[in-house]
Amino acid sequence: MNHIPVLLKEISEYFDPQPGENFIDCTVGFAGHTLSLLEKNKPDGKVLGIEIDEKVLEILKKKITNERLVLVQGSFTDLKKIAKENSFDSINGILFDLGMSSWQIEEKGQGFSFRKNEPLDMRFGSKASDLTAEEIINQWPEEELIKIFQEYGEERYARRIARLVCQTRQTQSIKTTNQLVEIIQKAVPNRYQHRRIHFATRTFQALRIAVNDELNNLKKALPQALEILEKNGKLAIISFHSLEDRIVKIFFRETAKEEGLKILTKKPIRPGQEEIDLNPRSRSAKLRVALKL
């Protein structure tokens, strides 16, 4: 399990963890950021790590034994409730890293990758959603498919892909990633298949966002994070596509107008070339940080 946390140095600089300070990692994953925080806030600072994927949490619990780390299986949409249930207060920083780990993409077998033949599931965890990508692809009306491919995937050939999906499913169920990739390949022009970004990327992204209701979940969580932060506590969000980044940007701007926070990153922080070379998946990461007033 080779997990490289994104923008680790930058998170550390903005949070500047001190001994005894408490942090929440709302997307703890394989604890790259969390371990760094625990190293700096010792001997008595704590981290509350929230993870929606129960398989990830199982692996993490075997990997880390630290009494200052409180691990909880759940969604960050319940952030306020989780913090209260675990008597976790005096919170100096809250982090959301909205990226997926390489393990989830490559090892989990949930259909996140278009490079492997897997079932079209795409749920972050079995409790994360009752909805699967297979259900969306086989049951949602054509207009709904067009809408999510356009809005969540920003896919220019959304109509052509949705139409061919609907034609195909009349004669056979679409159950695997390979079947879907073949449909997308037939639907898009030849020149579109030879771009730097794989031609299935945007459709797969759109389905994942729809299955896990990612954008609405972020909108629900941000006000909770601000509410439970201590005064002068910091809120940091690493996003990986423009839709998430837009939500964070608008939330920061509107709250700053009401003087609820001060934006510390005038423009989003991006990884440097050295980090991108080491971890190509970090390329699209954007970090925004704000201070609670």
What pLDDT is stored for residue 43 in this prediction?
A: 95
> Tokens in use for 159?
């109509």
- Mean pLDDT lowest for which of 109-113, 187-191, 217-221, 245-249? 109-113
Q: What residue has token string 């704000």?
A: 290
What pLDDT is stored for residue 100 in this prediction?
A: 79
What pLDDT is stored for residue 84 in this prediction?
A: 97
- Mean pLDDT lowest for which of 39-48, 49-58, 223-232? 49-58
Per-residue pLDDT tens digits for 168-215: 999 999 999 999 999 999 999 999 988 888 999 999 999 999 999 999
What pLDDT is stored for residue 203 in this prediction?
A: 97
Q: How confident is the model at residue 156 (pLDDT cuts 50, 70, 90)?
A: very high
Q: How confident is the model at residue 154 (pLDDT cuts 50, 70, 90)?
A: very high
CA angle 31, 43, 41 (to 5 degrees): 50
Domains recognised in the chain with CATH numbers: 8-103+214-292 (3.40.50.150), 130-212 (1.10.150.170)
Per-residue pLDDT tens digits for 261-280: 999 999 999 999 999 999 88
CA gyration radius for the chain?
A: 20
The 3-state secondary structure of 51-89, one letter per residue: ECCHHHHHHHHHHCCCCCEEEEECCHHHHHHHHHHCCCC
Q: How confident is the model at residue 28 (pLDDT cuts 50, 70, 90)?
A: very high
> Tokens in use for 187?
């639907």
196, 202, 186: which is closest to 149 by C-alpha? Answer: 202
Q: Is a pLDDT exceeding 60 seen at residue 96? A: yes
CB 92 within 8 A of CB 60: no
What pLDDT is stored for residue 128 in this prediction?
A: 64
Q: Is a pLDDT exceeding 70 seen at residue 2? A: no
How large is the average pLDDT for residues 233-257? Answer: 97
Give the CA-trace dihedral at 82, 9, 56, 203, to 10 degrees.
100
**Residue 167, C-beta contacts closer than 8 angstroms, at least 6 positions apart:** none
Of 173 and 116, the structure prediction assigns the larger pLDDT to 173
